[in-house]
Structure 1
Amino acid sequence: MKLVEIPRVKRISKQDFLKDYLKPQLPVVIEEFNGDWAAHSKWSFAYMKEVAGDKIVPLYDDRPVHHEDGFNEPHAQMKMSEYIDLLKSEPTKFRIFLWNILKEVPVLQKDFSYPDFGIRLLKGVPMLFFGGENSHTFMHYDIDLANIFHFHFEGEKECVLFPQSENKHLYKVPYSIITHESIDFSNPDFEKWPALKNANGFKTGLKHGEVLYIPEGYWHYMKYKTAGFSMSLRALARNPFNFAHAAYNIFIMRHFDVLMRKLKGQRWIDWKNEKAIFRTNKLISQKP
């Protein structure tokens, strides 16, 4: 893989963000975003345990997708207080993702505001993501191809991004928004996954207080170097093609995939994984 460091800025004006990153659809890390957020000084594991400790949270790990799994169905559940104790005591694969803090813990809404980046942010879906040391997400892109502003709190994580133009190198699973689950994007085996050698993407690390802008439809892989958590704010895709792609994913592809899981069971999952390898290897074998 050919990964270049994502550009980093200390601060950025709305005009410069629109011109240099949103319009050309390029990622950027803002190192000193503040926005007068109380969250920057308050949000920690201890604070989350205090305000949300009694909440039952959905947990996910890195087990392969199984046909009996429902869409975004958690692998386990735990009180937030117990989960945070686990995060602080030992490495764990359990993660929280897409946890709507506005719905679950409304008091947290008082700790941040929606910044003006020159793009309309969706105000009903501020999502939190937690992970233990060395846990990771599969390489994926968001089903709605949203513009994402990923605000990181506590700990450190590494991020790898690819634009949709790199699909042919990534072993994309058909009827899905993930790549082949066996690929370790933090240390890929190029003998097993040769097409990845030709993939051009981006990388960066995030620390407390930093913000990563992820453009529409970008693939992203996140690995927690230490236990930590982040919040994502999002805006709808502006590109008409991406907006149409998002509608297809949500209203057609997702339901077709669920139907095929019911009809064919694990054979459907296995076929998709095999097809990801076959299609990608076929593409790289063709002469340019």
Structure 2
Amino acid sequence: MRKEQMELERIKRVKSISKSDFKRDFVQPQIPVVIEKLIDDWPAYKKWNLGYIRQIAGDRTVPLYDDRPITSEYKFNEAHAEMKMSEYVDLLESGPTNYRIFLYHLMKEVPALQKDFSFPDVGLRFLKQLPMLFFGGEDSSVFMHYDIDYANILHFHFHGKKQCILFPPSESKHLYKVPHSLISREDIDFNNPDFEKFPVLKKARGFITELNHGETLYMPEGYWHHMTYLTAGFSMSLRATPRTLTNFSKAVYNLIFMRHFDNYMRKIKGQEWIDYKNRLAVERTHKRHDINL
């Protein structure tokens, strides 16, 4: 018998798109899209693979994250380990690994890579000091979350294949959002959900796609996303400011108050605070939907 899955719609794909069409059809209605040929003219399209990263950045020490649950031991976005980039690329090429690189500041750490790309003219106001790189090993996943700054994001993938599951902000009520954070319950496997434990997930309506080398995913502001590296590879994100004052205000609140409050509570309450938030995520979600387990 086929196991029940989440209700996920395939993200629309286009070969190319004009600036006006992109703004009208996707940015204004806040709908994701994959653009297959947006960056064919970038040097990065031909050059960027793991071997090139080893060559140009192999001596850099990089922060690594794995799939361990969030605990009071680490602050917001604090790395779990570090190693030389050359050693990390060797690890990626040797087989599956849970170690990922998250929010690697390309402009600051490897300035030479700036010559390999440009900011697409698609009608977004890009934050030009914040291009970030993300690396992952085969079968590694990034937990379901949304971004602290409510940015509109162009996400470019290189070297291999990556699965992306997205949910619009309107689906937050179905995703077991953890209070005072940007994540859903980390014990939810969005590739194989446990509907007995998390029944409200059945109501969630989202999107799914697989990104290949050189393809671009547009993620609207505030969208939840869960990434699985189907092969070892890496991606780059370019971020653009929120379009509405409401989302800009949410970003400011997250950056100035929420993350510092959460770090403070972890410091004084420890694991008790983490466990409390996880319980509350379930209790609030089930109460909202009149579910008693």
TM range (shorter): over 0.9
Determine the C-alpha separation between the residues in 2 that align with 1:265 and 1:130. Answer: 30
Paired residue for 1:162?
A: 167
> Matches of residues 144-183 of structure 1 in structure 2 within 5 Å?
144-183=149-188
Equivalence for 1:274: 279
Query: Are the counterparts in 1 of residues 156 and 216 from structure 2 also a CA contact under 8 Å?
Result: yes
Q: Output aligned runs, 1:1-288, within 5 Å.
A: 1-34=6-39, 36-285=41-290
CA RMSD, aligned part only?
Answer: 0.8
Match of 1:50, SS state, is: helix
Q: Aligned with 1:110: secondary structure?
A: helix
**Count of aligned pairs between the two proteins:** 286
For structure 1, the residue ranges without an aligned partner over 5 or more in a row are none
Tell me by how many angstroms 1:132 deviates. 0.2
What's the secondary structure of 1:197's corresponding residue?
Answer: helix
Normalising by structure 2, we get a TM-score of 0.96
- Cα distance in 2 for partners of 1:135, 1:239 equals 34
Q: Deviations along 1:1-29, whole A, 9 cap, x unmatched?
A: 21100100000000000000000000000
CA contact (8 A) 1:150 1:211 kept: yes
Moved over 6 A (4+): none
Deviation at 1:58, TM superposition (A): 0.4
How big is the shift at 1:219?
Answer: 0.2
Gaps of 5+ in 2: 1-5
Question: TM-score, normalized by length of structure 1?
Answer: 0.98
For the 8 Å contact 2:40–2:214, the answer to whether it is kept is: no
Give 1:176's aligned amino acid: S
Secondary structure, counterpart of 1:69 in structure 2: coil
Q: Is contact 1:3-1:201 (8 Å) kept?
A: yes
Partner SS for 1:249: helix
Counterparts of 1:258 and 1:37, CA distance in 2: 40
Q: Which digits, 9 at most, give the CA deviation of each residue in 1:165-186, with x for residues without a partner? A: 1111100000000000000111
In structure 1, give the amino acid aligned to 2:191: S
Q: State the Cα distance separating 1:34 from its structure 2 match.
A: 2.1
* Deviations, residues 235-271 of structure 1 (Å, cap 9, x unaligned): 0111111111111111111111111111111100000
